[in-house]
Amino acid sequence: MADDVKTRDRRTDRVGLGGRKRHGIAAKLRSYFFAGLLTVAPIGLTMWLFWVLLKFVDSRITPLIPQNYNPNTYLHAIVPFEVPGVGLIVLIAALIIIGAMTRVLLGRTLVRMSENLVNRMPVVRSVYGATKQIVESVLKGQSEAFRQVVLFEYPRRGSWAIGFVTGQTRGEVQNLTDDDVVNVFLPTTPNPTSGYLLFLPRRELIPLTMSVEEGIKMIISGGIVTPEDRRPLEEQKIKRIAAADGDRPTIAPGAGLAEIPDIDTPASDVADSEKASVEGD
């Protein structure tokens, strides 16, 4: 009986149809496939998105270039197709020229006259004003937008979310409360460009050491990409948040939690002060 079982096992190993060896090869091939997919997918998606952006810009900018100044007019004698990237290069050059013109007196005067003309249009001025504020807050180097990642309870006690500090709350919202309130943008997954604007007390925010870029990657991936905790091991062992227990606060006042730096303080000054405190310790 035992000899029959051994003979059947040897036959199964040799056949390769439903045997254990076939299962092992299939598992290896599957693992190799996913390893190759993980290697190629990020590069492929990046190149595809760049190509789509390039074609979109070219399709909008290239027709506006006069034929005598279009490089493709002269390149057709060498290559029989449209050279991609011409529109993007022209767009970048145009933005550089416009930026240089705004630095001189004539350029500033033209910009001021254009803004005065737009501000006289009832509907257009509202759209222009909001768009200008958003662009300036995102692109300017001294901007307060997305300067820190924070952890806070949302939408209920014991449930946590990460958001980005966008500024210090001012005006009527701040004047109506005794708390020191901070503007926090709560993005949605997987599209971080949409979300909610929350006004949260500074004492209820837990600052995180992850960068804004790492926070955005974590949100886009739905938590699949999680940045490492770069804090010292001694600090990682300290629990800053109590376990959820009904409506009891999980963040006790005066519990030695790290505070959110003053929003009005430039980011460089905050980094210098933190470095000085570490050196002092």
Write b or e for each residue in 194-204: b if 16 or more Cβ atoms lie within 10 A of its Cβ, otherwise e.
ebeebebebeb
Return per-residue pLDDT of the chain as tens, 281 residues.
555 545 555 554 444 444 444 567 888 888 888 888 888 888 888 899 889 888 888 888 888 888 887 777 777 777 777 778 888 888 888 888 888 887 777 777 887 888 888 888 887 788 887 777 766 655 654 445 677 899 998 888 888 999 999 888 889 999 998 888 999 999 888 877 788 999 999 888 888 988 888 888 888 888 888 888 888 888 878 877 777 776 676 775 544 344 555 555 444 444 444 444 434 44
Alpha carbon separation from 226 to 194, 221, 255 (Å, rounded): 21, 9, 27
Q: What share of the chain is helix, strand, coil (3-state, %, to 5)?
A: 55, 10, 35
* Cα–Cα distance for residue pair 254/236, rounded to 1 Å: 19
| Cis preceding linkage at 155, omega within 30 | yes
Dig out the tokens for 258 from the structure.
């790290």
With contact defined as beta carbons under 8 Å apart, do 118 and 125 qualify? yes
Phi and psi torsions of 91, nearest 5°? -65, -45
pLDDT of residue 34: 86
pLDDT of residue 151: 92
pLDDT of residue 261: 53
Pairing of strands 160-168, 206-207: unpaired
With contact defined as beta carbons under 8 Å apart, do 136 and 226 qualify? no
* Cα–Cα distance for residue pair 146/215, rounded to 1 Å: 10
Helix ranges (DSSP H) in 140-245: 172-175, 212-220, 233-236
How many other CB atoms are there within 10 angstroms of residue 4's CB atom? 8
- What distance lies between CA 116 and its chain's CA centroid? 35
With contact defined as beta carbons under 8 Å apart, do 145 and 137 qualify? yes
Domain ranges of the chain: 102-139, 156-231
Beta-strand (E) ranges in the chain?
Answer: 148-153, 160-168, 181-187, 195-201, 206-207
